[in-house]
A = this chain, B = another copy of it.
Amino acid sequence: MKIVDIYARLKKDLNAIEKELEASIHSEHAMLKETSLHLLKAGGKRIRPIFVLLSGQFGLYELDKMKKIAVPMELIHMASLVHDDVIDDAQTRRGQLTVRAKWDNRIAMYTGDYIFAKALGVVTKLSNPKIHQIMSHAIVEMSIGEMEQIRYFFHSGQKVRDYLLRIKRKTALLIAISCQLGAIAAGAPAAVSRKLYDFGYYVGMTFQIRDDVLDLCGTEEQIGKPPGSDIKQGNITLPVLYALKKPELRGRLLEELERIRLLDGQTDVGRFLQMVRDSGCIEQSERLAERYIEKAIRSLDGLPDIQAKKDLVRIAHFVASRTN
Protein backbone atom coordinates (compact mmCIF):
# COMPACT_ATOMS: atom_id res chain seq x y z
CA MET A 1 0.00 0.00 0.00
CA LYS A 2 1.17 3.48 -0.81
CA ILE A 3 0.97 6.74 1.04
CA VAL A 4 -1.27 8.12 -1.70
CA ASP A 5 -3.81 5.42 -0.86
CA ILE A 6 -3.93 6.68 2.70
CA TYR A 7 -4.41 10.22 1.48
CA ALA A 8 -7.11 8.97 -0.86
CA ARG A 9 -8.95 7.20 1.93
CA LEU A 10 -8.78 10.28 4.16
CA LYS A 11 -9.40 12.69 1.32
CA LYS A 12 -12.92 13.71 2.22
CA ASP A 13 -12.03 14.46 5.81
CA LEU A 14 -8.74 16.13 4.90
CA ASN A 15 -10.63 18.37 2.49
CA ALA A 16 -13.01 19.29 5.29
CA ILE A 17 -10.02 20.16 7.46
CA GLU A 18 -8.49 22.20 4.68
CA LYS A 19 -11.70 24.20 4.41
CA GLU A 20 -11.80 24.67 8.15
CA LEU A 21 -8.16 25.77 8.18
CA GLU A 22 -8.96 28.43 5.64
CA ALA A 23 -12.09 29.51 7.49
CA SER A 24 -10.26 29.64 10.81
CA ILE A 25 -7.67 32.16 9.66
CA HIS A 26 -10.21 34.27 7.83
CA SER A 27 -9.96 37.90 8.80
CA GLU A 28 -11.48 41.14 7.60
CA HIS A 29 -7.96 42.37 8.05
CA ALA A 30 -6.58 42.31 4.50
CA MET A 31 -2.90 41.98 5.41
CA LEU A 32 -3.38 39.19 7.95
CA LYS A 33 -5.63 37.35 5.57
CA GLU A 34 -3.02 37.65 2.86
CA THR A 35 -0.03 36.57 4.95
CA SER A 36 -1.93 33.70 6.59
CA LEU A 37 -3.33 32.44 3.30
CA HIS A 38 0.11 32.68 1.75
CA LEU A 39 1.36 30.36 4.47
CA LEU A 40 -1.57 28.00 4.18
CA LYS A 41 -1.37 27.79 0.40
CA ALA A 42 2.37 27.17 0.52
CA GLY A 43 1.24 23.69 1.39
CA GLY A 44 2.81 21.14 3.62
CA LYS A 45 2.09 17.49 4.09
CA ARG A 46 -0.63 18.05 6.72
CA ILE A 47 1.03 15.24 8.63
CA ARG A 48 -0.41 16.42 11.96
CA PRO A 49 -4.05 16.40 10.76
CA ILE A 50 -3.48 12.95 9.25
CA PHE A 51 -2.26 11.65 12.59
CA VAL A 52 -5.25 13.19 14.34
CA LEU A 53 -7.67 11.53 11.91
CA LEU A 54 -6.03 8.11 12.10
CA SER A 55 -5.73 8.20 15.89
CA GLY A 56 -9.35 9.23 16.24
CA GLN A 57 -10.35 5.97 14.60
CA PHE A 58 -9.31 4.12 17.76
CA GLY A 59 -12.29 5.71 19.49
CA LEU A 60 -15.68 7.00 18.42
CA TYR A 61 -14.66 8.92 15.35
CA GLU A 62 -16.57 12.16 14.77
CA LEU A 63 -15.23 14.43 12.09
CA ASP A 64 -16.49 17.52 13.84
CA LYS A 65 -14.40 16.78 16.94
CA MET A 66 -11.41 15.70 14.87
CA LYS A 67 -11.44 19.05 13.08
CA LYS A 68 -11.21 20.89 16.38
CA ILE A 69 -7.97 19.06 17.13
CA ALA A 70 -6.50 18.79 13.64
CA VAL A 71 -6.96 22.45 12.76
CA PRO A 72 -5.21 23.90 15.84
CA MET A 73 -2.39 21.33 15.52
CA GLU A 74 -1.68 22.46 11.97
CA LEU A 75 -2.09 26.15 12.88
CA ILE A 76 0.31 25.87 15.81
CA HIS A 77 2.77 24.21 13.47
CA MET A 78 2.34 27.01 10.91
CA ALA A 79 2.74 29.72 13.54
CA SER A 80 5.96 28.15 14.76
CA LEU A 81 7.28 27.93 11.19
CA VAL A 82 6.71 31.60 10.52
CA HIS A 83 8.53 32.57 13.73
CA ASP A 84 11.25 30.05 12.90
CA ASP A 85 11.80 31.71 9.54
CA VAL A 86 12.38 35.03 11.30
CA ILE A 87 15.07 33.45 13.46
CA ASP A 88 16.66 31.71 10.50
CA ASP A 89 16.46 34.67 8.09
CA ALA A 90 14.91 32.10 5.76
CA GLN A 91 14.16 33.23 2.22
CA THR A 92 12.18 30.23 1.04
CA ARG A 93 10.27 27.31 2.47
CA ARG A 94 8.66 24.60 0.39
CA GLY A 95 9.91 26.45 -2.66
CA GLN A 96 7.91 29.59 -1.77
CA LEU A 97 9.00 32.93 -0.36
CA THR A 98 8.64 33.02 3.42
CA VAL A 99 6.38 35.63 5.01
CA ARG A 100 9.41 37.47 6.33
CA ALA A 101 10.98 37.51 2.85
CA LYS A 102 7.79 38.54 1.04
CA TRP A 103 6.79 41.11 3.68
CA ASP A 104 9.13 41.64 6.63
CA ASN A 105 10.17 40.27 10.02
CA ARG A 106 7.70 42.38 11.97
CA ILE A 107 4.79 41.27 9.85
CA ALA A 108 5.96 37.67 10.15
CA MET A 109 6.09 37.97 13.94
CA TYR A 110 2.53 39.25 14.17
CA THR A 111 1.29 36.78 11.57
CA GLY A 112 2.63 34.02 13.82
CA ASP A 113 0.96 35.57 16.86
CA TYR A 114 -2.30 35.85 14.97
CA ILE A 115 -2.34 32.29 13.65
CA PHE A 116 -1.43 31.02 17.07
CA ALA A 117 -4.28 32.97 18.64
CA LYS A 118 -6.65 31.58 16.03
CA ALA A 119 -5.50 28.06 16.90
CA LEU A 120 -6.53 28.67 20.50
CA GLY A 121 -9.85 30.03 19.33
CA VAL A 122 -10.62 26.72 17.62
CA VAL A 123 -9.55 24.49 20.48
CA THR A 124 -11.59 26.40 23.07
CA LYS A 125 -14.65 25.04 21.31
CA LEU A 126 -13.80 21.71 22.92
CA SER A 127 -14.60 21.77 26.60
CA ASN A 128 -12.34 18.95 27.82
CA PRO A 129 -9.81 20.70 30.11
CA LYS A 130 -7.35 17.83 29.71
CA ILE A 131 -7.04 18.65 26.01
CA HIS A 132 -6.26 22.27 26.84
CA GLN A 133 -3.70 21.27 29.42
CA ILE A 134 -1.89 18.86 27.12
CA MET A 135 -1.84 21.44 24.37
CA SER A 136 -0.61 24.33 26.50
CA HIS A 137 2.14 22.19 28.01
CA ALA A 138 3.32 21.22 24.53
CA ILE A 139 3.36 24.87 23.44
CA VAL A 140 5.51 25.83 26.41
CA GLU A 141 7.95 23.05 25.58
CA MET A 142 8.00 24.08 21.92
CA SER A 143 8.93 27.64 22.79
CA ILE A 144 11.70 26.38 25.07
CA GLY A 145 12.94 24.21 22.20
CA GLU A 146 13.03 27.19 19.89
CA MET A 147 15.03 29.20 22.37
CA GLU A 148 17.36 26.23 22.87
CA GLN A 149 18.01 26.21 19.18
CA ILE A 150 19.31 29.77 19.32
CA ARG A 151 21.51 28.98 22.30
CA TYR A 152 23.10 26.04 20.51
CA PHE A 153 23.83 27.82 17.25
CA PHE A 154 27.49 27.09 16.34
CA HIS A 155 27.90 25.36 19.73
CA SER A 156 30.21 22.50 18.78
CA GLY A 157 30.44 21.24 22.36
CA GLN A 158 26.82 20.09 22.50
CA LYS A 159 26.02 16.43 23.00
CA VAL A 160 23.79 14.14 20.96
CA ARG A 161 21.36 14.14 23.86
CA ASP A 162 21.11 17.97 23.67
CA TYR A 163 20.16 17.59 20.04
CA LEU A 164 17.61 14.88 20.79
CA LEU A 165 15.95 16.90 23.54
CA ARG A 166 15.80 19.90 21.23
CA ILE A 167 14.10 18.04 18.38
CA LYS A 168 11.76 16.41 20.86
CA ARG A 169 10.57 19.85 21.89
CA LYS A 170 10.73 21.40 18.46
CA THR A 171 9.02 18.65 16.47
CA ALA A 172 8.25 15.35 18.14
CA LEU A 173 5.99 16.66 20.91
CA LEU A 174 3.48 18.30 18.59
CA ILE A 175 3.23 15.14 16.51
CA ALA A 176 2.93 13.04 19.68
CA ILE A 177 0.03 15.11 21.00
CA SER A 178 -1.64 15.15 17.58
CA CYS A 179 -1.96 11.38 17.96
CA GLN A 180 -2.80 11.54 21.65
CA LEU A 181 -5.44 14.26 21.35
CA GLY A 182 -7.04 12.67 18.30
CA ALA A 183 -7.62 9.60 20.47
CA ILE A 184 -8.72 11.57 23.53
CA ALA A 185 -11.19 13.69 21.55
CA ALA A 186 -12.67 10.46 20.19
CA GLY A 187 -13.07 9.16 23.72
CA ALA A 188 -10.53 6.35 23.37
CA PRO A 189 -9.28 4.73 26.61
CA ALA A 190 -6.21 6.29 28.29
CA ALA A 191 -4.06 3.22 27.49
CA VAL A 192 -4.80 3.74 23.80
CA SER A 193 -4.04 7.47 23.75
CA ARG A 194 -0.79 6.81 25.63
CA LYS A 195 0.34 4.27 23.04
CA LEU A 196 -0.53 6.68 20.26
CA TYR A 197 1.39 9.46 22.03
CA ASP A 198 4.47 7.21 22.11
CA PHE A 199 3.99 6.33 18.46
CA GLY A 200 3.77 10.01 17.51
CA TYR A 201 6.78 10.88 19.60
CA TYR A 202 9.02 8.30 17.92
CA VAL A 203 7.73 9.14 14.46
CA GLY A 204 8.33 12.83 15.20
CA MET A 205 11.93 12.15 16.20
CA THR A 206 12.45 10.27 12.94
CA PHE A 207 10.72 13.02 11.01
CA GLN A 208 13.13 15.68 12.30
CA ILE A 209 16.24 13.53 11.91
CA ARG A 210 15.19 12.85 8.33
CA ASP A 211 14.60 16.59 7.83
CA ASP A 212 18.07 17.35 9.11
CA VAL A 213 19.63 14.66 6.90
CA LEU A 214 17.82 16.05 3.85
CA ASP A 215 19.18 19.51 4.58
CA LEU A 216 22.66 18.03 4.28
CA CYS A 217 22.07 15.65 1.34
CA GLY A 218 18.94 16.77 -0.52
CA THR A 219 18.72 18.91 -3.62
CA GLU A 220 17.06 22.32 -3.59
CA GLU A 221 14.31 20.83 -5.73
CA GLN A 222 13.60 18.14 -3.15
CA ILE A 223 13.65 20.26 -0.03
CA GLY A 224 12.30 23.58 -1.32
CA LYS A 225 15.26 25.56 0.01
CA PRO A 226 19.02 25.51 -0.62
CA PRO A 227 20.76 22.55 1.06
CA GLY A 228 23.09 23.52 3.89
CA SER A 229 20.62 26.07 5.26
CA ASP A 230 20.98 24.56 8.73
CA ILE A 231 24.70 24.91 9.01
CA LYS A 232 24.66 28.41 7.50
CA GLN A 233 22.59 29.55 10.42
CA GLY A 234 24.64 27.54 12.90
CA ASN A 235 22.14 24.76 13.48
CA ILE A 236 24.28 21.72 14.26
CA THR A 237 22.31 18.56 13.52
CA LEU A 238 22.78 14.87 14.23
CA PRO A 239 25.07 13.86 11.32
CA VAL A 240 27.33 16.82 12.09
CA LEU A 241 27.49 15.87 15.77
CA TYR A 242 28.45 12.32 14.80
CA ALA A 243 31.07 13.63 12.38
CA LEU A 244 32.53 15.91 15.06
CA LYS A 245 33.23 12.78 17.11
CA LYS A 246 35.59 11.44 14.47
CA PRO A 247 39.17 12.48 15.37
CA GLU A 248 40.27 12.50 11.72
CA LEU A 249 37.46 14.94 10.79
CA ARG A 250 36.99 17.04 13.89
CA GLY A 251 39.76 19.55 13.27
CA ARG A 252 38.76 20.33 9.70
CA LEU A 253 35.06 20.50 10.57
CA LEU A 254 35.67 22.91 13.43
CA GLU A 255 37.76 25.09 11.15
CA GLU A 256 34.98 25.17 8.56
CA LEU A 257 32.36 25.84 11.24
CA GLU A 258 34.36 28.78 12.56
CA ARG A 259 34.78 30.15 9.06
CA ILE A 260 31.02 29.88 8.41
CA ARG A 261 30.26 31.49 11.76
CA LEU A 262 32.60 34.43 11.17
CA LEU A 263 31.07 35.01 7.74
CA ASP A 264 27.60 34.84 9.30
CA GLY A 265 26.64 32.02 6.97
CA GLN A 266 27.16 34.19 3.87
CA THR A 267 29.51 31.73 2.26
CA ASP A 268 29.63 28.53 0.26
CA VAL A 269 29.22 25.52 2.52
CA GLY A 270 29.82 22.89 -0.19
CA ARG A 271 33.07 21.67 1.34
CA PHE A 272 31.47 21.29 4.77
CA LEU A 273 28.51 19.36 3.32
CA GLN A 274 30.84 17.10 1.36
CA MET A 275 32.88 16.22 4.44
CA VAL A 276 29.74 15.24 6.36
CA ARG A 277 28.29 13.31 3.41
CA ASP A 278 31.53 11.33 3.02
CA SER A 279 31.91 10.59 6.72
CA GLY A 280 29.41 7.74 7.02
CA CYS A 281 27.51 9.82 9.56
CA ILE A 282 24.48 10.27 7.33
CA GLU A 283 24.06 6.48 7.36
CA GLN A 284 24.65 6.44 11.12
CA SER A 285 21.87 9.02 11.57
CA GLU A 286 19.57 7.03 9.33
CA ARG A 287 20.16 3.98 11.51
CA LEU A 288 19.07 5.93 14.58
CA ALA A 289 15.98 7.10 12.69
CA GLU A 290 15.24 3.49 11.81
CA ARG A 291 15.51 2.48 15.43
CA TYR A 292 12.98 5.17 16.35
CA ILE A 293 10.63 3.88 13.68
CA GLU A 294 10.88 0.37 15.10
CA LYS A 295 10.01 1.76 18.52
CA ALA A 296 7.12 3.70 16.99
CA ILE A 297 5.69 0.57 15.46
CA ARG A 298 6.18 -1.44 18.64
CA SER A 299 4.22 1.26 20.49
CA LEU A 300 1.14 0.20 18.55
CA ASP A 301 1.30 -3.35 19.97
CA GLY A 302 -1.95 -4.18 21.65
CA LEU A 303 -4.06 -1.74 19.66
CA PRO A 304 -6.92 -3.24 17.65
CA ASP A 305 -5.96 -4.31 14.13
CA ILE A 306 -8.01 -1.76 12.28
CA GLN A 307 -7.08 -0.15 8.96
CA ALA A 308 -5.87 2.98 10.77
CA LYS A 309 -3.19 0.92 12.51
CA LYS A 310 -1.88 -0.36 9.18
CA ASP A 311 -1.90 3.18 7.87
CA LEU A 312 0.10 4.44 10.83
CA VAL A 313 2.72 1.75 10.27
CA ARG A 314 2.90 2.65 6.60
CA ILE A 315 3.33 6.35 7.36
CA ALA A 316 6.02 5.58 9.92
CA HIS A 317 8.07 3.78 7.27
CA PHE A 318 7.44 6.57 4.80
CA VAL A 319 8.63 9.25 7.23
CA ALA A 320 11.95 7.49 7.66
CA SER A 321 12.68 7.37 3.95
CA ARG A 322 10.94 10.46 2.59
CA THR A 323 12.89 12.57 0.16
CA ASN A 324 11.01 15.85 0.53
Tell me the A residues contacting B by CB distance below 8 Å. Answer: 27, 29, 31-32, 83, 86-87, 105-107, 109-114, 116-118, 120-121, 124-127, 129, 132-133, 135-137, 139-140, 142-144, 146-148, 150-151
Number of copies: 2
Choose one: B27, B87, B107, B143; the contact of A117 (CB below 8 Å): B143
How far apart are the CA atoms of A112 and B140 in the complex, in Å? 11
**Contact of B27 with A144 in the complex, beta carbons under 8 Å:** yes
**Contact of B124 with A139 in the complex, beta carbons under 8 Å:** no
How far apart are the CA atoms of A270 and B54 in the complex, in Å? 63
**Contact of A147 with B107 in the complex, beta carbons under 8 Å:** yes
Min distance, Cβ A136 to any Cβ of chain B, angstroms = 4
Given the interface pairs A129-B124, A137-B121, the reply to whether A143 lies near B31 with Cβ below 8 Å is: no
**Contact of A132 with B136 in the complex, beta carbons under 8 Å:** no
Given the interface pairs A120-B136, A127-B129, A140-B121, the reply to whether A150 lies near B113 with Cβ below 8 Å is: no
Given the interface pairs A127-B129, A144-B29, A147-B29, the reply to whether A109 lies near B83 with Cβ below 8 Å is: yes
Min distance, Cβ A321 to any Cβ of chain B, angstroms = 32
**Contact of A146 with B113 in the complex, beta carbons under 8 Å:** yes
**Contact of A140 with B114 in the complex, beta carbons under 8 Å:** yes
How far apart are the CA atoms of A112 and B110 in the complex, in Å? 11
**A87 partner residues in chain B, CB cutoff 8 A:** 106, 109-110
**A148 partner residues in chain B, CB cutoff 8 A:** 29
How far apart are the CA atoms of A121 and B137 in the complex, in Å? 6
Choose one: B86, B110, B151; the contact of A147 (CB below 8 Å): B110
Min distance, Cβ A238 to any Cβ of chain B, angstroms = 21
How far apart are the CA atoms of A129 and B122 in the complex, in Å? 12
**Contact of B127 with A140 in the complex, beta carbons under 8 Å:** no
**A137 partner residues in chain B, CB cutoff 8 A:** 121
Min distance, Cβ A57 to any Cβ of chain B, angstroms = 26
Choose one: B31, B111, B140; the contact of A118 (CB below 8 Å): B140
Closest 8 CB pairs of A and B: A124-B132, A120-B136, A114-B143, A117-B139, A127-B129, A117-B140, A113-B143, A121-B136
Given the interface pairs A121-B140, A136-B120, A139-B120, the reply to whether A147 lies near B105 with Cβ below 8 Å is: no
**A150 partner residues in chain B, CB cutoff 8 A:** 106-107, 110
How far apart are the CA atoms of A110 and B109 in the complex, in Å? 10
A-B contacts besides A113-B146, A117-B142, A118-B140, 13 pairs, CB < 8 Å: A31-B151, A83-B113, A105-B105, A109-B109, A110-B143, A112-B113, A113-B116, A114-B147, A120-B135, A121-B139, A124-B129, A125-B133, A126-B129
